[in-house]
């Protein structure tokens, strides 16, 4: 039997209109909009936009020198249209369910927390000259929360939804290691942080066991 959250988790099925999606999932919508805005700034061939972009990317050496904002701003930037499309589509699919469960403010805090933790892992395990952009660390944090629900047998996920999450998680991790230029440290860091942050963020008293 499902809890009061019945109907919240419908992964990969978005039937809302544009206005409904914007109203029901404002944090997810805003993050997607920021992805697009910063991508447009990135492709505009102006010195000021190029300077802005390079002042926001994650560069380990600069972060250790005190430019800590890069731990957050790097999450909004993408290096190619394919990179933008993949991460934005993943957020579009996975974000709404988590936003509905956690509430807006907690979802934003959870998402940023996972992304920052993923970037801190990158800072710890990659070389000082290493630079990175992308929201995949935070998105793998969403995977981590869903994995948490699977491990602890939450009634929020059906069997088929669990299988979809596991399959896509495996594909995401494997493809990361098979392709060059992928920040696998961030993927793993985001996944682990999302799994453990779920202990703090999920409303445990309302997630009944099967």
Catalytic residue among 136, 148, 154, 193: 136
193 is catalytic: no
Angle, in degrees to the nearest 10, between helices 184-201 and 104-125:
140
Cα dist from 6 to 78, 101, 139, 171, whole Å:
35, 10, 23, 28
Give the angle 192-92-199 at the CA atoms, nearest 5°. 30
* End-to-end C-alpha distance for the chain, whole angstroms: 7
Catalytic residue among 88, 132, 187, 193: 187
136 is catalytic: yes
What is the spatial distance between Cα 119 and Cα 137, in angstroms, rounded to a whole number?
Answer: 7
Active site amino acids? 136, 187
């Amino acid at each position: 039997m499902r809890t009061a959250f019945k109907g919240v988790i419908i992964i990969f099925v978005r039937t809302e209109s544009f206005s409904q999606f914007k109203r029901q999932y404002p944090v997810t919508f805003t993050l997607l909009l920021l992805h697009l805005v910063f991508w447009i700034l990135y492709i505009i061939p102006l010195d000021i936009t190029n300077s802005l972009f390079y002042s926001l990317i994650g560069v380990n050496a600069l972060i250790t020198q005190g430019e800590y904002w890069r731990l957050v701003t790097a999450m909004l930037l993408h290096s190619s249209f394919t990179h933008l499309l993949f991460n934005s589509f993943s957020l579009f699919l996975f974000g709404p369910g988590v936003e509905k469960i956690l509430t807006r403010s907690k979802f934003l805090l959870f998402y940023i927390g996972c992304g920052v933790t993923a970037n801190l892992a990158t800072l710890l395990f990659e070389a000082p000259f290493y630079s990175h952009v992308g929201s995949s660390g935070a998105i793998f944090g969403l995977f981590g929360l869903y994995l948490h629900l699977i491990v602890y047998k939450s009634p929020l996920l059906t069997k088929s939804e669990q299988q979809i999450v596991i399959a896509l998680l495996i594909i995401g991790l494997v493809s990361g290691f098979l392709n060059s230029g992928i920040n696998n440290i961030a993927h793993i860091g985001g996944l682990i942080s999302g799994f453990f942050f779920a202990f703090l963020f999920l409303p445990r008293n309302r997630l009944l066991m099967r």
